[in-house]
Amino acid sequence: LLAIVRHELGLSSTKSRFPGKGTCVAIYSRAINAQAPLDELLKSVFPWCVPWEGELKRLFAAYTASKQSENVLDYDDLLLYWAHAMGEPALAAEMGARFDHVLVDEYQDTNRLQAQILLALKPDGRGVTVVGDDAQSIYSFRAATVRNILDFPAQFLQKAELVTLDRNYRSTQPILEASNAVIALARERFSKNLRSERKSAQKPQLVAVRDESDQARFVADRILEFRESGIALKSQAVLFRSSNHSAQLELELSRRDIPFVKYGGLKFLEAAHVKDVLCVLRWAENPLSRMAGFRAACLLPGIGPSTATRLVDAVAASPAPAAAMRDFSVAPAIVEDWSAFVDVFTQLRQVKSAWPAEMELVAKWYAPHLARIYEDAFVRQRDIAQLQQIAATYPSRERFLTELALDPPAATSDEAGPPQRDDDYLILSTIHSAKGQEWKVVHILNVVDGCIPSDMGAGTNEEIDEERRLLYVAMTRAKDHLYLIVPQRFYVHSQAANGDRHVYASRSRFIPEAIVDCFESCVWPRAEEQARADCGQTSEPKRLVDVASRIRAMWN
């Protein structure tokens, strides 16, 4: 809907670069959830969009009016409308009186809008309990703020009671000691040191390797060793700051036939190809849906925003949507694709149209467009197949579309390959996606400055503090064995396959010399192993070759 409004305001044809629809949605959502003035938000998070502040305000005003005219809410509105309702003292008192006790879990992950609702619900704090760990506040990218939990005790006339839960049932004591040392250097936090009854003599290992290739080989070696010792692949995980950090490792795992599943990609309904299929079904279900119609029309080659807008308006204004579509004129070059789409839409609009045959019809029509639009169409096709399987479990198209929005499944397009029914497989995950999980063995990739902390997350003290918490979260996922891997150099992109341009990296600032004793530092591979590997020989005596005498003999 925002994309349609953006186009109607002429912002899709500006002479200089205007923020794309995805960026516009991100700015709008951040402004709502962070309760931040637009000008301040743009300066701090979207500085390149500052010149467009006036246009963005106009866009968001039109977007809000359009939602209200169509009687729809987005997810941000569910909180925003609630918060404004709580702004009325009478309504707030009535809602608050319904509950004797309010419990909020994972309070460190709440945003300002959610905290505002809670405080309005119970302004005196009576009966309010929040549970959370300030050291695990890692979602500021979606407007969560650690200030909510840090400031909570002092937000009421009667100061809140603080109960510290410091006994850990997951990790061994050496892992907790290292984790405690990392988080203890944070600028502001609730003081606590996790403790465990699980004793161990093995400290977390801080492993220095030559580059990302060695990092991948080291991880693969250790994974296979642990598997042979009886630790299943599913009980091992490799964590990383950003999804692209695992690229080299994924190649190495594939070469060694180690199956893996990767988490941290898009959620199922956020995947563009899934949205493409669903928008066709939604438009057929409700021809007045301008959002679905606009996206569906733009799937066809040769149809841009202007033509799509005219088509959507024509279909919405007609009492016979399928007839309006047949009468709509398009360029001769796309008549064939257009006719195929009209046939699909007409069949979907028939009263006696069968479900889930409709889903199969749309999937078949979409297949060539999937291949045309996306380079990784083969991988994305698995999601379409999964969507067809899900569709078969519902009695009607209407029920399918409704339930899917409320209870979406997980995506498969970010998996290395669907494992067999009784296969074992390794877990690859971003740190954000690993929160709340645990494994017997955890490897953390790229524990260097520029990766942890990310070079995109070190602009302010608050951002650096959150990056520290990310490392803490990653370390505390491990139950028995923890490896933090430090590549010494990274090769520069956009060079020849065998190019040697590289930059050197330093160990993460979150592990300074003062706490290195909490880790077992080592280098991989060991020097003697590397020497044998480089020479490609065993300990057999070397055969000397006198090249100099051979050169002299040439002239005798």
- Quote the pLDDT of residue 350: 84
Using CA atoms, how far apart are residues 297 and 337, in angstroms rounded to an integer?
A: 11
Mean pLDDT by 10 residues, the chain (556 residues): 89 89 92 93 92 95 93 92 93 94 95 94 93 93 92 90 93 96 92 92 94 93 95 95 86 88 69 90 91 92 90 92 91 91 92 82 94 83 82 86 70 44 78 92 95 84 93 96 93 57 87 95 78 56 80 84
Q: Is 401 helix (H, G, I), strand (E, B) or coil?
A: helix
User: What per-residue string of b and e applies to 42-65 under the rule 16 or more CB within 10 Å gives b?
Assistant: beebbeebeebeebbeebbebbee
What six digits make up the tokens of 115? 């905290």
* Sign of the dihedral defined by the CA atoms of residues 206, 207, 211, 213, in that order: negative
Using CA atoms, how far apart are residues 505 and 555, in angstroms rounded to an integer?
A: 51
- Quote the pLDDT of residue 527: 65
- The runs of H, that is alpha helices, within 244-304 are 247-255, 272-285, 290-298
Q: Is 538 helix (H, G, I), strand (E, B) or coil?
A: coil
- Quote the pLDDT of residue 417: 43
> 396: number of CA atoms within 13 Å, CB side?
6
Q: Is 524 helix (H, G, I), strand (E, B) or coil?
A: coil
- Quote the pLDDT of residue 414: 44
What six digits make up the tokens of 307? 């033509």
Using CA atoms, how far apart are residues 381 and 169, in angstroms rounded to an integer?
A: 42
Q: What is the DSSP string of 188-254?
A: S------B-S---SPPPEEEEESSHHHHHHHHHHHHHHHHHTT--GGGEEEEESSGGGGHHHHHHHH
- Quote the pLDDT of residue 481: 97
Q: Is the bond leading into 356 cis (omega within 30 degrees of zero)?
A: yes
- Quote the pLDDT of residue 412: 47
Alpha-carbon separation of residue 356 from 34, 282, 343, 393 (angstroms): 42, 14, 17, 9
pTM for this entry: 0.73
Q: Is 278 helix (H, G, I), strand (E, B) or coil?
A: helix
Alpha-carbon separation of residue 24 from 274, 304, 416 (angstroms): 21, 19, 32
- Quote the pLDDT of residue 14: 87
